Amino acid sequence: MSGCCGSGAPKADAAPPLHSSIVAMVSLASGIAANHPAMGQCQLDRLRRAGVPESQIATVIEIARHIRDEAAEKLDHAFDAAAAGATDAAQAPASEGESCGCATTASGQSCC
């Protein structure tokens, strides 16, 4: 597997590749959400050089942090339920209006 800034995977079909700015946004968000030590830092310069507005970069960062934090909260909830002896350590119920079970970010941005 190649590093965060390269793609060594062969193409599965003849579909056109994603634009480099989309790849950089996905890499930035996934690095933050996964608590990767580099957290997509190399992608920030790439996005800025591509002319992506700072407001869009900030939105990507906000959504990624929200997903990371919500995942940690749900994991903590499941662990606490299991530690308390609950037989069903199910995840917290979905937020109203969200089909994927996640709440909106602090600014109201949906992560779904």
The percentage of the chain sitting over the pLDDT mark of 70, rounded to a whole number, equals 75
Q: How far apart are CA 102 and CA 74, in angstroms?
A: 10
Q: How far apart are CA 32 and CA 49, in angstroms?
A: 20
* Residue 57 burial (C-beta neighbours within 10 Å; 0-12, 13-18, 19+): middle
Name the average pLDDT for the chain.
81
- Buried b / exposed e over 1-27, threshold 16 CB at 10 Å, is eeeeeeeeeeeeeeeeeeeebeebbeb
pLDDT tens for 61-102 read 999 999 999 999 999 999 999 999 876 545 444 444 455 667
- pTM for this structure? 0.67
Count how many Cα atoms sit within 13 Å of the Cα of residue 92 in the half-sphere of its side chain.
16
pLDDT of res. 2: 47
